[in-house]
Amino acid sequence: MLVRHPLFALFWVGSAYASSNKCLSSNAIGTKSYNACCTGQSSGIETIKGVEFRYTCEQYALDSNGDYGTASTAATAADCAGQCAENPECVVSTWFATRKKCLSYSDMGFRPHSEKYWMTFVRTGKTTDEKGGTDGPNCEEKVTAATAQCKAEEAKACETEKAALEQKIRAECKKDAEEKCKGISHEQCREIETKCSSDKLAMGKELQDKCNVEKAALSAKCDEEKANKDKELQESQKKWEMAMTALKNTCDADKGAKEQCETELTALKISCAADKSAKEHCEKDKAELSKKHDEERDSKKKLEQENKDLISKFEEEKEAQEKASKEEKAKLEEENNKLKEIIAASGGGPGGPVKPDVLPSGPENSTTPCPHIHGKEYTVDGVTYQAFCGKMTRGRVINRNVDGGILLGSSPAIVMKVCSMEPTCQGIFCDNVGHCNIYIDYQFPPTEDLTGARNEQVYSLIPVQPRQNSANANALSASSVLAGNLFGGCPHTHKQKITIASHTFDFRCREARGGSSMSVGTGGIRYPSWCMAACAATPGCVGTSMGTSTCTYYSSLDNLDKLEETSERPLSQYWVARLTDQS
């Protein structure tokens, strides 16, 4: 019988890969196989069936979706790695030693996980060709050599069988002839042997022809198997190239991921450094904030104490103000009572309400008021006057030569104020040069006409109602003068408060005061009440005084000076009246 050698068997004969692999060459089963791979090391690189794998101990893989791969049985680590080596689409396989299970994956994005007695086998992309062996994706030469070897061995086997057959035929014919040649001649025996050999050789030729036919058929079969194997190898090479491309992409992706990881790690280090710096700043800010809080707390306590002190001071001041207010109220009531007396003395009070002041202004209140004031009414300190230009009243006047009863250079407002506070005044007449007389007799309207250029500025100011002469005269008024006291008041009015036209004066006898004098628009007045009325009617006037002449007015006053009487300075003629709200 002819011996036939399958082509795939011959193919792998030339690809035997001698390896000193510790892991994948072990015949141990289950956990013993695991221990052979993982004792003393956790990973390694080994080759099986021409494919190089990197294995890792205590690790299993899941695909990118987290699922298990295709399961199969594998008693050893080599079985599981070998199954992956035989499948070109397999990228990684996982072996569970205790259950002898193998999981295969074609997913490049597999995910590794840690677990004892598990191993992963990942293709490195290298084969035994790349490591100096004969296996690999380019197998055409090996297939051709295997085919030639197949044909040569078949031919050799055929010739060997043919020679053996001829030798056997000759031996059998010779033996058969020896048995048949007993009792016959040598020539007959030789013919029998020759015929036997001839017949059997013919049979051998027939067998040889048959062998040749079988040889040709075998050669055709070898060619067919070669073509099939070439096709399988081409497909395997394509799959291998696809797997290698995918693996390269995975490697590139891993490289990119590594670079990204390193970039992120660098960024993380920078971020950590920034966080550390921010933390230090935060701690510093916290310390400063705590310090500021303590300072604010101390400041708050200080402010609270100051507030308490202010409240206490405010209470004291409030109490003092209330006391002063009571005193001021009593003072105002006293002044009000005096004012009521003055109003009563000037025709106000129960006889009728006091009208508000209506004073002349502008040209009306000058040394040339006519004809502006003619026919107009003015109310001054409760007394209403009517002005008459070119008219003079009839009656008695205060003797200006003896009693000083003349107002020199006075304006209408001042002379009306003097008249209003003087109970004996029943009217005023002013001549062309501003010298005004006080009338103590009442005549309304004036009856004497004065005409001519020299009388253009003569006028009379007459109360529309007669004054009550029976009213008690002020101690400083002209009625006291008429009674024989020229300067009036001293010494019994010394240190009294005299209120005139809502202004209160501190009246001092036998005292003098220096200061800055001023003009009040009138002169020649010697009566204290008239002088105080003129000062009260003049803005800026703070006091008035008199010595041996007429009144002097001041915009500022020095301290009082107590006077000593001499022959040149009789003290009865000296007095000072100072507004109480001035220093």
Residue 523 lies in a domain: yes
Amino acid 563: pLDDT:
63
Amino acid 313: pLDDT:
86
Q: Rounded to whole angstroms, what are the CA distances from 458 to 121, 252, 391?
A: 140, 126, 7
- Chain centre to alpha carbon of residue 18: 74
Closest CA to 229 of 83, 4, 49, 10: 10
| Calpha distance 9→4 (Å, rounded) | 11
Amino acid 479: pLDDT:
43
Strand order from edge to edge, sheet including 459-463: 377-380, 383-389, 459-463, 427-430, 436-439, 406-407
Residue 472 lies in a domain: no
Our CA dihedral for 469, 473, 478, 482, rounded to 10 degrees, sits at 80
Residue 519 lies in a domain: yes
| Calpha distance 114→56 (Å, rounded) | 10
Q: Are residues 197 and 304 in the same domain?
A: yes
Amino acid 305: pLDDT:
92
Residue 92 lies in a domain: yes
| Calpha distance 61→120 (Å, rounded) | 7
Amino acid identity, position 507: F
SS3 at position 21: coil
- Is the pTM of the predicted complex or chain greater than 0.85? no
Amino acid 122: pLDDT:
94
Residue 343 lies in a domain: no
Query: Are residues 29 and 80 in contact, defined by beta-carbon separation less than 8 angstroms?
Result: no
Residue 516 lies in a domain: yes
Q: Are residues 279 and 398 in the same domain?
A: no
**Where residue 60 sits, what CATH number does that domain have?**
3.50.4.10
How would you write 397-432 as a 3-class SS string? ECCCCCCCCEEECCCHHHHHHHHHHCCCCCEEEECC
Return the residue matching tokens 């100011």.
461
Cis amide linkage into residue 371, ω under 30° from 0: yes
Q: Are residues 446 and 507 in the same domain?
A: no
Q: Are residues 457 and 485 in the same domain?
A: no
| Calpha distance 363→389 (Å, rounded) | 14
| E strand spans, 90-143 | 92-96, 101-105, 111-127
Q: Are residues 180 and 292 in the same domain?
A: yes
Q: Are residues 423 and 490 in the same domain?
A: no
| Calpha distance 581→542 (Å, rounded) | 9
Q: How many domains does the chain have?
A: 4
Element (H, E) at 171: helix 140-180
Element (H, E) at 371: none
Q: Are residues 442 and 504 in the same domain?
A: no
Q: Are residues 293 and 386 in the same domain?
A: no
Domain edge (last residue) among 88, 110, 127? 127
SS3 at position 453: helix
| Calpha distance 152→452 (Å, rounded) | 179
| Calpha distance 582→558 (Å, rounded) | 11
Residues in a beta bridge with 92: 105, 122
Q: Rg for the chain (alpha carbons), in Å?
A: 76
Amino acid 349: pLDDT:
44
Q: Are residues 202 and 299 in the same domain?
A: yes
Exposure b/e, 329-366, CB count within 10 A at least 16 = b: eeeeeeeeebbeebbbbbbbbeeeebeebeebeeebbb
Q: For residue range 421-449, what is the model confidence (pLDDT) as tens digits?
A: 777 788 888 888 778 888 877 888 888 88
Q: Are residues 119 and 181 in the same domain?
A: no
67: Cα within 13 Å, side-chain hemisphere:
7
Q: Are residues 500 and 431 in the same domain?
A: no
Q: Are residues 179 and 288 in the same domain?
A: yes
| Token couple for 572 | 């009865």
| Token couple for 228 | 């099939």
Query: Are residues 345 and 423 in contact, defined by beta-carbon separation less than 8 angstroms?
Result: yes
Exposed (0-12), middle (13-18) or buried (19+): which is 101, by Cβ within 10 Å? middle
Residue 388 lies in a domain: yes
Q: Which domain holds residue 435?
A: 376-463
Residues in a beta bridge with 509: 575
**Where residue 416 sits, what CATH number does that domain have?**
3.50.4
Q: For residue range 221-277, what is the model confidence (pLDDT) as tens digits?
A: 878 887 887 788 788 778 878 877 877 787 777 777 778 878 888 888 888 888 888
Residue 544 lies in a domain: yes
Name the stretches of the chain with pLDDT < 50: 1-20, 130-138, 343, 346-352, 401-403, 470-488, 583
| Calpha distance 52→54 (Å, rounded) | 7
